[in-house]
Structure 1
Amino acid sequence: MHTMLHFLKNKYFITIVFFLTTILFFDRYDVFSQLDLRKQLFKLQKEKNYYQKEIKNNNEQLHELRTNPENLEQFAREHYLMKKQNEDVFVIVNDSLLED
């Protein structure tokens, strides 16, 4: 018991405990903030990877549309309902899509 009291009265020990408590709990970048920031960083890295893949896919599609006139025509017909001069276009919509 006597050694414990002597240890608690030591100014270096008190300073270290105060410093560690401040850093761990009360600092602007405490442990909990660091954990939250790490989670956020991981989430943002996943989003970045997703968007980089999407950009790569979109660039490939754009290149394909610019170099192949058949793909350009198919894209225009499917997305913009374009047609040739003597054609009729019928759009069929599923009822399940209308409910959403």
Structure 2
Amino acid sequence: MLQKIPPFFRNFYVATFLVLMVWMAFFDANSFMVQVRNRSKLSDLQREIDYYAAQIDTIRANRHEVLGSDRLREKYAREKYLMKKPTEDVFVVVDSLNKPLEP
């Protein structure tokens, strides 16, 4: 049976190297599959970082806009939170065509 194996692979160092590579590729704690999984997690986390950085920039711009003047702060409070002065009434108009159906 040893005669069927090419002489190159019968060398002790080559056989040891091949066994070591198979061990590192599949059975080690830092195997190839673990590296692929970690790279996938890293790319997902990087996308989240980019998303949240964009959200932070948007919120900072809105905050700067709102805190810039009293008139803009009042406009923002009226539109976003439906706030009103004590002598006013607020009417909310809902488009019935685009209203989602209730179950």
TM-score > 0.5 by shorter chain: yes
Are residues 15 and 39 of structure 1, via their aligned partners in 2, closer, same or farther at CA, if it must alter by over 3 Å?
A: same
Q: Which amino acid is the alignment partner of residue 102 of structure 2? A: E
Once residues 95 and 18 of structure 2 are traced to their aligned partners in structure 1, the CA distance between those partners, rounded to angstroms, is 68
Structure 1 range deviating more: 68-77 or 18-27: 68-77
Structure 1 range deviating more: 33-42 or 86-95: 86-95
Structure-2-length-normalised TM-score: 0.82
Alignment deviations for residues 38-91 of structure 1 (CA, whole Å, 9 cap, x no partner): 111111111101100110110111111111222211111122211123211012
1:48 and 2:46 aligned: no
Q: Which residue of 2 aligns with 1:32?
A: 33
- May I ask how many residue pairs the two structures share in their alignment? 100
Alignment deviations for residues 18-50 of structure 1 (CA, whole Å, 9 cap, x no partner): 100011111111111111111111111111011
Quick check: which one's helix share is greater?
Answer: 1
Once residues 69 and 57 of structure 1 are traced to their aligned partners in structure 2, the CA distance between those partners, rounded to angstroms, is 20
Q: Which amino acid is the alignment partner of residue 99 of structure 1? A: E
Once residues 5 and 77 of structure 1 are traced to their aligned partners in structure 2, the CA distance between those partners, rounded to angstroms, is 83
1:74 and 2:75 aligned: yes
Structure-1-length-normalised TM-score: 0.84
